Amino acid sequence: MAEHEGSVRVDSWIWSVRLTRTRALAAAACRAGHVRVNGERVKPAQALRPGDEVRVREEGYERVVVVQKLIRKRVGATVAADCLVDNSPPRPPRELVATAGERDRGAGRPTKRERRDLDQLRGH
């Protein structure tokens, strides 16, 4: 395990501890504003330090973790668990997660009224 003093890029650390599947997805999440460190939006190259709180938003659910150890290489799930403290709220059950209104096949594009209803349902 490559443990380092100093700092590690936030996108690299998120990927290393298995919060995202690829480093490219981690960097894209940072650029899109889905990653916050200590409450601030960050760029992929932002430096992390032990004790930082990292929030990663994914599909309507937010992972909240505190950095314990800095690593640069992707490691196994058991080793990754030692590198962070997971303070995430429990995921809502799948039955309670509302599906975004799906249209019947061949129904065509939604009308303006249907679009407004869909946007209101999604919370936009």
Quick one: DSSP state of residue 4? -
Which token pair is 55?
A: 């929030």
Q: Are 67 and 84 in contact (CB under 8 A)?
A: yes
Q: Are 80 and 16 in contact (CB under 8 A)?
A: yes
pLDDT at 5: 57
pLDDT at 97: 57
pLDDT lower than 70: segments of the chain: 1-5, 94-103
Distance CA 9, CA 105 (A): 44
pLDDT in tens, 52-79: 999 999 887 889 999 999 998 999 999 9
Distance CA 42, CA 36 (A): 6
